[in-house]
Amino acid sequence: MNIRIIQVILDVFDHYGENIRFEEERFEEVLNDEASDLLDECFWIIRGFQTGIYDAMIFDEDIYRNGYVKYLMENIECEEKEAIFIVAVFETVIAEIGYYFEIPDMLSLLQDAYERQDYPQLAIIAKTYFLGFGVSQDYEKAFEIYSYLYGHGDDCGAYYLGFMYEHGYGIEQDIEKAMMYYQSRQDDLTDYRLGTFYMLGQYFEYDAKKAYEHLSRSHLEEAYLYKGLLLEEQRNFAGAFEAYFEGAQLFQVECLYRAALCLRMGLGVEIDLKKAYHYFEYGYFFMHKESTYQLSMMLFDGLVVEKDEKKALLYLHQAAQLRSRDACLLLGQLYELGRYVKKDHQKSLAYYQVASEILNQSNEKESRENYENI
């Protein structure tokens, strides 16, 4: 469902251009024409589209996924599941086509933001230049704006200046200056970055205590993931689950997956297969390969939901398409044995080959070509 509807929407944009995002009626007409067998999914996409959330997701970096989900639930009266589906699809569409539209009069917008000292607006404009989102990518312009923000006490300037010095974007790489900027402010972004450095032993010596302190201060989605990984490494499964669960409430995809695994296996929490299934399903919406694979396994096993081999096989193929090694191995076995599918030694071998290439982290282009030959 998710992969197909995304492809349909991308095809619509390819055929009818960027202006369609401002013409809801035309979008609805074309989308339904292109996807007559996916009307239920198209209905929710169109409803979400009409709220204007697409533009908000592009430009408002201060809202997390749970904020968009809540907004959709309130404004189009949908269930959480439909809201998450809309957000997941829009994120993918934005990632694919968001760099091709043009923001008119950007220089005028920038000048106006400077004159009004509108720091949030300046931060958005700086990010568009940094990403090349709606304008030609310009690291030097982004650096200029972030420097202005930092000089006027805006916290985001510290993180992005540190990030640009760390990687040499628009400025000569200088790790010492990068660390200076990261350590000059204490906010969600800088604490997350410093926490991961201490956890991974990057630029600083490994220090689990300092890593935990920084990550615990950050409320960034990814900070909960790294905090959970750190605690799991220390065999504190209850603490790890708590961190993953907090991240899952923000719909951080890897946290959804890891919280679901804990719930399924009883790691640091009582087993709750129903909640695990829902979390795997949400991960599937965001095209998380291992969540999709686990969802398939639960459908094969008939755990929580009624056993559905046809649906399980569909999810298994999608997990393989997303490059899950476990999914490729299992499909290789199924095609080899002729179980649930027609016996096909050529397909079996191709899936085994893709699984091997994923394991070895080798020649991704070749593995994709093998998959396309299936």
The more confidently predicted of residues 93 and 311 is 311
Summarize pLDDT for 192-228 with one digit per residue, the tens. 999 999 999 999 999 999 999 999 999 999 999 999 9
Confidence category of residue 1, pLDDT binned at 50, 70, 90: very low
CA distance 32 to 353: 38
Task: Give SS3 for 335.
Answer: helix
Structure confidence at residue 22 as a pLDDT band (50, 70, 90): low
pLDDT of residue 133: 77
Q: What pLDDT sits at residue 63?
A: 66
Closest CA to 244 of 235, 234, 232, 233: 232
Give me the pLDDT at residue 369, please. Answer: 52
Q: Please name which of 224, 174, 175, 165 lies closest in space to residue 196, comparing C-alpha atoms.
A: 224
Our CA dihedral for 350, 353, 355, 361, rounded to 10 degrees, sits at -140
More confident residue, 87 or 254: 254
**To the nearest whole percent, how much of the chain has pLDDT over 70?**
88
Q: Specify the DSSP element, H or E, that contains 185.
A: none
Residue indicated by tokens 């916290």: 155
Q: Got the DSSP string for 258-296?
A: HHHHHHHHTSSS---HHHHHHHHHHHHHTT-HHHHHHHH
- For residue 213 the two structure tokens come to 């302190």
Domain boundaries in the chain?
A: 2-97, 106-232, 247-322, 325-374
For residue 184, what is the enclosing H or E element? helix 175-184
Domain 106-232 -> CATH class: mainly alpha
For residue 115, pLDDT beyond 70: yes
Share of the chain above pLDDT 90, in %: 59
Tell me whether domains 106-232 and 247-322 share a fold: yes
Q: What is the CATH number of domain 247-322?
A: 1.25.40.10
